[in-house]
């Protein structure tokens, strides 16, 4: 039972890796950015766990800025993805412009809240 | 050739339709503004009620001192000696809006006073709210429904009651922000554009600035997202609509000082975070499903489910333990009283005592939303044919707002936009069915059997003609020709959204949904009559029921209109005849008005944030004269103000509110026991009243010298003669009573200089012979 489960898990990983390798490079760059942002957020959480959360607004704005850009990057990826039927007539420049605008608003708020 | 002409004709019709919609919207705005002006016409341009006076005072401060001082303002003229941090405890949206409006107008050299701007803010924003309703309903069902919903909202009495000219309260701008936020959410959901998602977050920020009811939005939208996921309507547009809103919205909410860190720490927001996580899990699942083959996906599912369930349970257990460790499970008192209607009466008497927080009665539904009450179910049904993301949202909105309006009368206001949207959808669908039937049967009536080419008004019918047979063709022509409607009495303009799907469905529907000609005509006439009744009721409600400023009262005598302006008389006396630093004690209802109009420091006011302080004042009002004097003296009070309606029959006076003074005071100071004041379970002030009642300060201050008015001391509100008629005050002296005895102001007598021997007093009012021998040690009222 465990053997089949392990074999299944291996097959699964292989299938996932091969399927993911097929995605275009542009999307892989966005994915890398998302992973980086989440990683930064995790580092901040660990740091808060060690040092304490005294300027709580700074902690909050730092973590939420990372999570925010990650979410926005995922939205960008959704809109730019050519396999996505709903967005096939959305020009990618428009998607990127929306992404930049939302990021500008997000970072304005972050800088105000950083304290 | 004919097709090009038809296309041109259709664009012309579209253009005419758009221009007509535009003018209708302008008229709707004018209607919404002008129906709220009755109080200005009947009385004067004055601020109403109690809470608006506080907002007015804050706006005055803002316009005089600028925004930095306003943001950091510590007010020392209320809640003496505690003070109140205005910058951190007030929702700044309303004051900032009115302040910027005033500043803009003044910079354009239109010198309106701050009071005028404050009085007219609410009608202006109700016009905006009507336009926002149009936009929201247009996203759900189409332009016709949008216009109908906008007209209904412009006039609905429940919204008028809180946004009449002079009612300068948070809801005036908050309802506009609510509808506008919902519109942007639906627009993002429909289009999947990140631009609208940004605007949505900014509109949500405006809503958080304006009203405490923003928690409704941040719980309704996650509920809707969950509903979409559960019913299998997950799409990437849903992710774009919700995920940025949570992150950006939480940050923006934390920016407002009133909310601060509550945005991440209180249970009201946890729903949004939970659904955020769930949404990401679902998105991941869909993504993996998309890139794997079905067999591998099954393997993945079994593997993940086995492992993931264990991890999830562990995390949930930790979270639940964290939340359950706090006594209120992390919810604030107000939210708990919404979820459990009996909570407030058991634990928080202050929330229970406000009349706006009582559950509504059945007639108040009919009074407040009138005809819409039975159009709403029709709208709900219409939302299900067909069900889209937007219409499921509106259904969820109406269901939750109906529940909450059943808990508190004040929340009927949140129900009003939902009811208008639903009714607008219902009315619009009904009208379109009837007019379609008439259109379909008109040519037959006029013996015109050829299909009129000019009726082919939409490009779709060209597509249709390829698919349909000749007879069906004519039927579709007639039905699709509803683009050009007869102007109805309320001048609605309908446009059928030219969707292929709708036309194909309507092809099938036409066979069933064509009603006989006579019944359609009759039904249209009846619906128009229904609308007429609604309009008449709304105008009556606006004019008679909801336009009273409650600072000025009127009554109709045999010799005309009699105006009771006692409140302003009393506040003006206070501001002219007392020192600037004198403290005035009264029940908390009148705190805001006293600080705003009389400009004197008060002990407690309508913010009711400190229950113990209010209980102190309540205890003082329920104690005998000496004990009350001690309490007031310890608070540096100089003047005591009571409101008394017994001479003129004003029912909202302090004797009627006395039971709350006893209850709240007794809740903190156990020596005040409610049964001491009750005879047979009732508060009485006649000869059957208990001695404690007849000796308490409230009784004495209300009825001092009352017997001089008519010789018998007949109280018109309680409808009896009072119990103790002839008595003197030992520790207070009366300094002012207004014209109709509605407001009575008393001054605390200073303690005697010498206690032994003959003491000659030069006071104007007589004193009793009881002297205070034991004021060498001031008794501590706090024990």
Chain A touched by B240 (CB under 8 Å): yes
Q: Is the pLDDT of residue B781 over 90?
A: no
Asked whether the beta carbons of residue A113 and residue B193 sit closer than 8 angstroms, the reply is no
**How far is residue B220's CA from residue B411's CA, in Å, rounded to a whole number?**
15
Chain A touched by B19 (CB under 8 Å): no
Contacts of A77 in chain B (CB under 8 A): none
Half-sphere exposure of B541 (CA within 13 A, CB side): 23
The closest alpha carbon to B274, from B315, B304, B308, belongs to: B315
Mean pLDDT of B603-617: 89
Chain A touched by B299 (CB under 8 Å): yes
Q: Is the pLDDT of residue B766 over 80?
A: no
**Consecutive H or E run containing B783:** none
Give pLDDT tens digits for A54-78.
888 899 999 999 999 999 999 999 8
What is the biggest distance separating any 2 CA atoms in chain B, rounded to whole angstroms?
A: 117
Quote the pLDDT of residue B19.
93
Asked whether the beta carbons of residue A87 and residue B236 sit closer than 8 angstroms, the reply is yes
Mean pLDDT of chain B: 82
**Consecutive H or E run containing B642:** strand B637-643
DSSP class of residue B351 equals: H
Range from B54-58, B403-407, B581-585 carrying the lowest mean pLDDT:
B403-407
Mark residue B630 as left, alpha or beta (left: phi above 0; alpha: psi -120 to 50; beta: remaining): alpha
Size of interface A-B (CB pairs under 8 A): 101
Chain B: give the shortest CA distance to residue A33, in Å. Answer: 17
Q: Is the pLDDT of residue B552 over 90?
A: no
Contact by Cβ (8 Å): B746, B732: yes
| Radius of gyration of chain B from its Cα atoms, rounded to whole angstroms | 32
Chain B touched by A38 (CB under 8 Å): no
Chain B: give the shortest CA distance to residue A52, in Å. Answer: 16
**How far is residue B418's CA from residue B414's CA, in Å, rounded to a whole number?**
7
Exposure letters B441-462 (e unless 16+ CB within 10 A, then b) = bebeeeeeeebeeebbbbebbe
In a 3-state reduction of DSSP, which class is residue B385?
coil
Q: How many helices (H) and strands (E) does chain A have?
A: 4, 0
Give pLDDT tens digits for B237-272.
999 999 999 999 999 999 998 888 888 888 888 889
Give pLDDT tens digits for B44-71.
888 888 889 999 999 999 999 988 999 8
Asked whether the beta carbons of residue B299 and residue A11 sit closer than 8 angstroms, the reply is yes
Sign of CA pseudo-dihedral B619, B621, B627, B629: positive
The closest alpha carbon to B50, from B167, B170, B164, belongs to: B167
Chain B touched by A89 (CB under 8 Å): no
- The better pLDDT of the pair B73, B766 is held by B73
Residues found in chain B: 783
Mean pLDDT of chain A: 87
- Which residue of chain A comes nearest to B299, CA vs CA? A8
For A102, the closest of B235, B244, B299 (CB atoms) is: B244
Report how far apart the first and last C-alpha atoms of chain A are (Å, whole number).
56
The closest alpha carbon to B658, from B646, B648, B568, B346, belongs to: B646
């Amino acid at each position: 039972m465990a053997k089949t489960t392990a074999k299944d898990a291996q097959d699964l990983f292989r299938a996932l890796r091969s399927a993911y390798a097929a995605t275009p490079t542009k999307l892989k760059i966005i994915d890398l950015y998302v992973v980086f942002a989440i990683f930064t957020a995790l580092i901040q959480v660990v740091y808060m766990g060690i040092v304490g959360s005294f300027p709580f607004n700074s902690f909050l704005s730092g973590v939420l800025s990372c999570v925010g850009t990650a979410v926005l990057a995922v939205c960008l990826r959704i809109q730019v993805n050519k396999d996505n039927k709903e967005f096939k007539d959305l020009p990618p420049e428009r998607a990127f412009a929306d992404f930049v605008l939302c990021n500008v608003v997000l970072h304005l708020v972050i800088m105000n809240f950083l304290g | 050739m004919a097709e090009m002409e038809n296309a041109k004709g259709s664009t012309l019709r579209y253009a005419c339709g758009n221009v007509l919609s535009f003018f209708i919207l302008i008229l709707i705005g004018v209607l919404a503004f002008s129906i709220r002006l009755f109080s200005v016409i009947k009385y004067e341009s004055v601020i109403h009620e109690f809470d608006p006076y506080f907002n007015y005072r804050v706006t005055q401060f803002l316009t005089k001192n600028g925004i930095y001082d306003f943001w950091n303002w510590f007010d020392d003229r209320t809640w003496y000696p505690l003070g109140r941090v205005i910058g951190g405890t007030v929702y700044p949206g309303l004051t900032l809006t009115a302040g910027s409006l005033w500043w803009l107008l003044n910079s354009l050299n239109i010198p309106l006073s701050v009071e005028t701007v404050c009085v007219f803010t609410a009608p202006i924003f109700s016009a905006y709210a009507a336009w926002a309703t149009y936009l929201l309903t247009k996203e759900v069902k189409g332009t016709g429904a949008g216009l109908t919903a906008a007209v209904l909202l412009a006039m609905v009495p429940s919204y008028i009651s809180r946004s009449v000219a002079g009612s300068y309260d948070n809801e005036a701008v908050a309802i506009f922000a609510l509808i506008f936020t919902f519109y942007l959410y639906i627009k993002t959901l429909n289009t999947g554009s990140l631009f609208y998602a940004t605007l949505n977050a900014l509109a949500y920020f405006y809503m958080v600035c304006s009203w405490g009811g923003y928690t409704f939005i941040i719980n309704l939208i996650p509920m809707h997202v969950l509903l979409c996921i559960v019913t299998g309507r997950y799409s990437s547009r849903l992710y774009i609509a919700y995920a940025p809103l949570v992150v950006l919205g939480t940050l923006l909410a934390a920016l407002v000082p009133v909310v601060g860190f509550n945005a991440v720490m209180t249970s009201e927001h946890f729903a949004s975070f939970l659904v955020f996580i769930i949404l990401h899990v679902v998105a991941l699942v869909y993504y993996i499903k998309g890139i794997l083959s079905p067999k591998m996906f099954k393997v993945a599912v079994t593997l993940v489910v086995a492992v993931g369930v264990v991890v999830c349970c562990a995390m949930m257990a930790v979270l639940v333990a964290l939340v359950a460790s706090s006594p209120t499970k992390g919810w604030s008192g107000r939210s708990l009283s919404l979820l459990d209607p009996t909570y407030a009466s058991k634990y928080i008497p202050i929330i229970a005592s406000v009349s706006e927080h009582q559950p509504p009665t059945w007639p108040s539904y009919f009074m407040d939303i009138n005809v819409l009450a039975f159009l709403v179910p029709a709208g709900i049904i219409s939302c299900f044919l067909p069900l889209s993301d937007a219409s499921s949202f509106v259904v969820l909105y109406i269901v939750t707002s109906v529940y909450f309006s059943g808990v508190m009368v004040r929340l009927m206001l949140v129900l009003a936009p939902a009811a208008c949207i639903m009714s607008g959808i219902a009315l619009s669908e009904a009208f379109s069915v009837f007019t379609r039937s008439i259109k379909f049967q008109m040519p037959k009536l006029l013996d015109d059997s050829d299909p009129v080419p000019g009726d082919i008004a939409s490009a779709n019918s060209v597509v249709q003609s390829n698919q349909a047979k000749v007879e069906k063709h004519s039927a579709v022509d007639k039905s699709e020709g509803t683009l050009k409607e007869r102007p109805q009495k309320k001048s609605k303009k309908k446009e059928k959204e030219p969707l292929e799907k709708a036309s194909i469905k309507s092809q099938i529907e036409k066979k069933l949904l064509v009603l006989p000609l006579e019944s359609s005509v009759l039904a249209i006439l009846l619906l128009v009559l229904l609308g007429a009744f609604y309009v008449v009721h709304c105008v009556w409600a606006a004019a008679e029921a909801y336009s009273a400023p409650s600072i000025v009262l009127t009554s109709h005598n045999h010799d005309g209109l009699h105006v009771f302006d006692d409140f302003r008389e009393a506040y003006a006396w206070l501001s002219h005849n007392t020192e600037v630093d004198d403290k005035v004690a009264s029940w908390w209802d009148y705190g805001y008005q006293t600080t705003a109009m009389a400009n004197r420091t008060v002990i407690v006011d309508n913010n009711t944030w400190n229950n113990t302080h209010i209980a102190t004042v309540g205890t003082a009002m329920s104690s005998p004269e000496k004990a009350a004097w001690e309490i007031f003296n310890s608070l540096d009070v100089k003047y005591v103000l009571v409101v008394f309606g017994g001479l003129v029959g004003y029912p909202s006076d302090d004797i009627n509110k006395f039971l709350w003074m006893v209850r709240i005071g007794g809740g903190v100071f156990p020596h005040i026991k409610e049964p001491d004041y009750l005879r047979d379970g009732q508060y009485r002030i006649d000869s059957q009243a208990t001695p404690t009642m007849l000796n308490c300060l409230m009784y004495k201050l209300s009825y001092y010298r009352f017997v001089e008015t008519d010789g018998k001391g007949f109280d018109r509100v309680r409808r009896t003669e009072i119990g103790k008629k002839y008595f003197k005050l030992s520790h207070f002296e009366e300094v002012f009573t207004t014209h109709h005895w509605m407001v009575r102001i008393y001054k605390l007598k200073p303690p005697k200089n010498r206690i032994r021997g003959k003491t000659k007093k030069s006071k104007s009012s007589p004193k009793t012979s009881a002297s205070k021998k034991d004021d060498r040690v001031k008794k501590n009222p706090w024990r």
